[in-house]
Amino acid sequence: MATQIVIANEDSIKIDDSYLIQWADKGKNWVDAWCPNTVHCVIWNNLPGQNEIQSKDASTGMMTGNINLSATSDAVGSTTVTALLTWAETRKGQIETANTDHNSAYSAALTNWINADSSNNNENNFSWSKDWTDYDPNYS
């Protein structure tokens, strides 16, 4: 399970201070009620400063206050810090698997392309339109 998470609502999710998931890549298992539009940011990490939920007015985007987080059992939206950390580790693994599958498929397709006509086909004229999301059944 991940030990740190920083959710910049509608922007990105940073896991263990090193792995960044763009908001569009959060996947189909993300529940919007975990981070409603009244949440600006959720911070649970071991960096200096308070672990907290930073709240905002959804209509103006202006900050309205903070809610301190002191335990992984604390509520965040309709879930808990623990559930978010578990989700984060799972999503990271899903993305890494999809990237590996994509890279393997690309390599196999390129090899087949070159082997089909090695006098004309090479890496420079190989066309590949897929990306890792095509290999992620959990992508939204």
- What residue segments make up the domains of the chain, in order of their start? 5-135
DSSP 80: E
pLDDT in tens, 83-98: 999 999 999 999 999 9
3-state secondary structure 18-57: CEEEEHHHCCCCCCHHHCCCCEEEEEECCCCCCCEEEEEC
pLDDT in tens, 45-100: 998 899 999 999 999 999 999 999 999 999 999 999 999 999 999 999 999 999 99
How much is the pTM?
A: 0.93
What is the pLDDT at residue 140?
77
Phi first, then psi, for residue 77 (nearest 5°) are 55, -125
Residues in the chain: 140
